[in-house]
Amino acid sequence: MIRVPSASPADTLALGRRLAGLLRPGDVVLLAGHLGAGKTLLAAGIAEGLGVDEQVTSPSFVIIRTYEGFLPLVHADVYRLASLGELVDLELLDEARDGVLLIEWGNAIASGMPGDHLLVEIEMGEGNERVIHLEPRGAWKGRPIEELSA
Ligand SMILES: Nc1ncnc2c1ncn2[C@@H]1O[C@H](COP(=O)(O)OP(=O)(O)O)[C@@H](O)[C@H]1O
Ligand SMILES: [Mg+2]
C-alpha cells in the first residue's frame, strides 16, 4: 500500500494521469472515499491519461458511462446500487472486458469483483488536503505502483 498526498485538485488530476500509465485491458480499479473526496476528479485524470477527449462527469445518475481512449474506459458509480449485488457486478465486468473498469464506491462491491484489482481510497483532510491510499490486491501486487509516490 502506498500513500500519496494531494494538496489540490490539480495534484489529484495529475496522479490520475500517472496512474493511467499503469493500466492495461481488463484492469479493475475501485475508488473509495466520502462524497466530495475526489473520486470523480481522479477518474477524470485517469481518463485524460488514457487519451479520452471527452469531459468526464459524475456517472451518479446514469450509473455507467463508457469513454473511448487508448483503451475503452468504463466509469461507474454504484453508490445507489451496492445492494443489487452480483447482477451489477457481472454486467460491469462484461461491459469492461477489453478496457479499464473504474468504479466509484467500488469498495462496497469488492467481494463481487475479481481479486486482482487496485483499491484507491481518498481520505479527506483540512481544506483541499487529501491522502490517496493505493492498495494493490492480488496480481496488482506485482505492478510498480511505488512509481506513483515519487
Ligand atoms: N486535493 C483535492 N483532490 C481532489 N478534489 C479536491 C481536492 N481539493 C479540493 N477538491 C474538490 O473536491 C471535490 C471533489 O469532487 P468529486 O471528484 O466529484 O468527489 P467524489 O466523486 O469523491 O464525490 C471537487 O469539487 C474538487 O475541486
Ligand atoms: Mg463522484
Q: Ligand 1 within 6 A of 99 CB?
A: no
Whether pTM > 0.85 for this model: the answer is yes
Backbone torsions φ then ψ of 125, nearest 5 degrees: -120, -155
The set of cell numbers assigned to 120 is: 484507491
Of the two residues 108 and 103, the one the predictor is more confident about is 103
Q: What is the pLDDT of residue 54?
A: 95
Q: What is the pLDDT of residue 58?
A: 87
Q: Whose CA is nearest to atom 25 of ligand 1?
A: 36
- Grade residue 34 by pLDDT with cuts at 50, 70 and 90: very high
Q: State in Å: Cα 13 to ligand 1 middle.
A: 10
Which CATH number is correct for 2-139, 3.40.50.720, 3.40.50.970, 3.40.50.300, 3.40.390.10? 3.40.50.300
Would you kindly state where each structural domain of the chain is located, as residue ranges?
Answer: 2-139
Over residues 1-32, the pLDDT tens digits come to: 999 999 999 999 999 999 999 999 999 999 99
| Whether residue 136 has pLDDT greater than 60 | yes
| Whether residue 87 has pLDDT greater than 80 | no
Closest atom of ligand 1 relative to the 43 alpha carbon = 17
Q: Ligand 1 within 6 A of 40 CB?
A: yes
| Residue in the structure block whose three cell numbers are 492480488 | 138
Q: What is the pLDDT of residue 62?
A: 65
Over residues 54-74, the pLDDT tens digits come to: 999 987 766 789 999 999 999
Q: State in Å: Cα 116 to ligand 2 middle.
A: 23
Q: Ligand 1 within 6 A of 36 CB?
A: yes
* Distances, alpha carbon 65 to alpha carbons 5, 57, 62, 104, in Å: 28, 9, 7, 12
Give the length of the chain: 150
| Cα-Cα-Cα-Cα dihedral sign, residues 60, 61, 62, 65 | negative
